[in-house]
Amino acid sequence: MILGVHLSKFSLACSCSMLTYDNDDWEGGNVAGSGLIKSLAERERALAGQLEDARRAAAAKVQEAEARAAQIMAEAEQAVRDLEAQFRARTSEAVAKIESEARAKAEAEARAISETAIARVAEAVQAVLKEVLP
């Protein structure tokens, strides 16, 4: 069994169509048969080496992908922090504007109330003076 595949005498003879073997060659331990086995073993080692190279390349690609994913994640987290800072700044500006407008409106209402009160007090004083002073 080589490379996990059972090779029968027939399949070996068929797969190597340039070489012909009869039953006596196989049973007698023919040198050509051992050469074929060596060739298959060398091929198996070469394929195992290729497989190991492919495994290393895949591991390197996975590592690169993980590093890139970590970089993307860090960039996304920074973008979130930047957006939060911008939102806080805009919110702060909006609150300051609302406070300023509310303060100005309150001051205007206070002036209007004060002016109305002053006028009413002046009228009341005039009314009292007319009654007290003939």
Alpha helices in the chain (DSSP H): 9-15, 23-27, 31-132
Q: Residue 68: is its pLDDT beyond 90?
A: yes
Residue 2 lies in a domain: no
Asked if residue 92 is part of any domain, the answer here is yes
User: Does residue 86 form part of some domain?
Assistant: yes
Tokens of 17: 């169509």
| 4 in a structural domain | no
Question: Is 3 a domain residue?
Answer: no
Single pTM value for the model: 0.47
Q: Determine the average pLDDT of the residues in 58-74.
A: 98
Q: Which domain holds residue 78?
A: 9-132
User: Which pLDDT belongs to residue 26?
Assistant: 46
Tokens of 30: 């023919």
Q: Is residue 1 part of a domain?
A: no
**Residue 63 predicted with pLDDT over 50:** yes
Quick: pLDDT tens for 3-44.
444 444 434 444 444 444 444 444 445 666 788 898 999 999
Beta carbons of 38 and 44 less than 8 angstroms apart:
no
Mean pLDDT, residues 53-77 taken together: 98
Which residues on neighbouring strands pair with residue 5, listed in sequence order?
Answer: 2
Record the tokens describing residue 89, joined without a space: 């700044």
pLDDT of 81-121, one tens digit each? 999 999 999 999 999 999 999 999 999 999 999 999 999 99
Please enumerate, as own/partner, the contacts of 41-44 that have beta carbons within 8 Å and a separation of 24 or more.
Answer: 41/2, 44/2, 44/3
Number of independent structural domains in the chain = 1
